[in-house]
Amino acid sequence: MKNQEVTSFIEGLDQEWKVEVCSELRSMVHQTIPDAEERMQYKKPHFLKNGKYTAVISPSKAAVAFTIFNAADLDFPEGQFEGPPERKTIKCKEGQTPDYALLSDLLSKAAQALV
C-alpha cells in the first residue's frame, strides 16, 4: 500500500534521476512484496513486511542507496554491496541503472523469512 508521505518525499527530490530511481525502487519493492507497508521514518522511505523492516531508500547528495534488511543468509554479488551481514546496501549514482531484477530476487529471499 502506497503512503502519500513517501510519494511527496520522492516527488520532492532535487534531481530528476533520483526521482526516477527512487520511484522504480519503490515499485520494485511493491511488486516483490505485494503486502509491503511503507512509511517515512528517519526522513527516508522504509518498507516493512509483517511489521519488520525489509528495505529502505536513502537518497543523498550524490547517490541513491537501497538497503535490504534480514540479509545474513543471502549470497550477494561481490563488490556491489556494503554493510554488516544483517543488512546490505547498494549505491546508485547518476547515470547508473540499478539491477532491479537482482534487487528483487534478493529482497524476495530476505522477505521470505519475515513471517
Per-residue pLDDT at 115 exceeds 80 = no
Angle at the Cα of 110 from the Cα atoms of 77 and 12, rounded to 5 degrees: 85
**Cell numbers describing residue 72:** 545474513
Confidence of residue 49 (pLDDT cuts 50, 70, 90): very high
Mean pLDDT to the nearest integer, 63-76? 95
pLDDT > 90 fraction of the chain, expressed in percent and rounded:
92
Q: Which pTM was predicted?
A: 0.95
